[in-house]
Amino acid sequence: MSTPDRPNILFLLTDDQGPWALGCAGNPEIRTPNLDRLAASGTRFENFFVATPVCSPSRATLLTGRIPSQHGVHDWLKGGNTGPDAIRYLEGEVAYTDLLARNGWTCGLSGKWHLGDSQIPQHGFIDWFSHQFGGGRYNDAPMVRNGQLVDEPGYVTDVITDEALRLLDRYADLAVPFYLGVHYTAPHSPWTGHPQGIVDSYDDCPFESCPQEPIHPWAKAEGLTTSCMNNREMLKGYFAAVTAMDANVGRLLDRLETLGIRDNTLVVFVSDNGFSCGHHGFWGKGNGTLPRNMYENSIKVPFIASHPAVIPAGRVTDAMVSAYDFMPTLLDYVGLSVPTRSNSPGCSFLPILRGEPAEGREDVVLFDEYGPVRMIRTAHWKYVHRHAHGPHELFDLVNDPGERLNLAADPDRAELIQQLRGRIDEWFAQYVEGRRDGLLQNGMVHGQERFVDR
């Protein structure tokens, strides 16, 4: 049975949802009434950053509190998901679900895993209904049920929720708290096959929130930008994927209330990376351009946390936090400690969740990596250093929040760049582990096919 200091946890994770793709974030076009409802009952973060702007390494960091140059997952995983050659990419890592399970939580998963070996439950999970890969078609999707590879009938967003509802019904009667991860593939491509009524409801949408800008010079010659730019059907599909997912979030919130366990449940909503639908002249995330980008729409994601009577309702914070802060925060929330050997770079932002003064976080500096591309982000500046190929970028986010003017070649900024570059080198030197170093990665490759130092 859950208690105030040992709450149930419902963790909702989406795939490729831009920080702009929420009604409560100020977008008047996209319909997300249930996420807006969740935000009204809790706290929404306007500056939640992932550690890598692509799915698999970002998910690994959320789970372990460690950066790619520690856990070794540097890109989306092309293989090792099923069959005799399946690979457990996080073998040897300690996930927060491992610690929750050891301390009495029942852990279940419904949806996307995409960290290798999708067939066998791992890292503390007992119940396991996973996607075979990282995404794909939205109808009759390839899933894993009871260890068997199946094409599950139905719309996959509904299917993932149906399984989660079954688990909630069972968990509500347990004598111990539960952790349930509901990992949607939405709104990742393809933007076809979504409920037609929702798609059609966006027929008259002007999509002013997604300006189709002139093609970015780094946009890939073949890829999403080519097929999606100025394509209203793709915009309708993306918006429909979000709205259909939002409806399913509503089903989960309703069930928590019906079961009488909403007050005892921490609900967290986040995405694995951001996304641009024409913003900056491309469609995609960090790998939507070559060289890879660290634009705000790629590295920022929606983040909402709600727990009645614990987390202030209707609050919005501009505090800067990173995905590598999530594990220490969640463990702090339930009274558990981060393993000392993890050498996690993160720190708990629990005081921010509780609406208390966040001492020591006034001048927070965040870091990102994507292979040989590294970034430092302060409240004022963003510096992106591309070790392998260049070019480098410096943006004044106070005076240029849209990241339009690259100041890296400005001689008046040379000293600042030297300082920021030094901080990048110093920070990564503290955390990088041997041959898992992202600088050893080929920044031109699309997807990761092998282990790093395993």
**pLDDT for res 1:** 65
pLDDT tens per residue, range 298-318: 999 999 999 999 999 999 999
Cα(21)–Cα(16) distance, integer angstroms: 10
**pLDDT for res 388:** 78
pTM of the predicted model, to two decimals? 0.97
Q: Is residue 50 part of a domain?
A: yes
Beta bridge mates, 370: 373
- Domain tally for the chain? 1
Q: Which two tokens stand for residue 81?
A: 């998901």
Q: Is residue 274 part of a domain?
A: yes
Cα(293)–Cα(14) distance, integer angstroms: 21
Cα(388)–Cα(357) distance, integer angstroms: 41
Beta bridge mates, 49: 300, 322
**pLDDT for res 363:** 85
pLDDT tens per residue, range 165-200: 999 999 999 999 999 999 999 999 999 999 999 999
If we measure between CA atoms, which residue out of 342, 426, 385 comes closest to residue 63? 342
**pLDDT for res 452:** 78
Q: Is residue 394 part of a domain?
A: no
Residue 281 one-letter amino acid? G
Q: Is residue 219 part of a domain?
A: yes
**pLDDT for res 55:** 98
Q: Is residue 63 part of a domain?
A: yes
Q: Is residue 411 part of a domain?
A: no
Tell me, rounded to whole angstroms, the distance of Cα 46 from its chain centroid. 14
Name residues whose C-beta falls within 8 Å of residue 382's C-beta, 6 or more positions apart in sequence.
Answer: 294, 375, 376, 393, 394, 395, 397, 403
pLDDT tens per residue, range 204-214: 999 999 999 99
pLDDT tens per residue, range 75-103: 999 999 999 989 999 999 999 999 999 99
Q: Is residue 372 part of a domain?
A: no
Please check whether residue 22 is in contact with residue 245, taking contact to mean a CB–CB distance below 8 angstroms. no
**pLDDT for res 454:** 65
Pairing mode, if any, of strands 125-131 and 139-145? antiparallel
The CATH number assigned to the domain holding 299 equals 3.40.720.10
Among left, alpha and beta (phi > 0; psi -120 to 50; other), residue 404 is alpha
User: In the chain, which residues have pLDDT < 70?
Assistant: 1, 454
Q: Is residue 442 part of a domain?
A: no
Domain extent, residue 338, equals 8-363
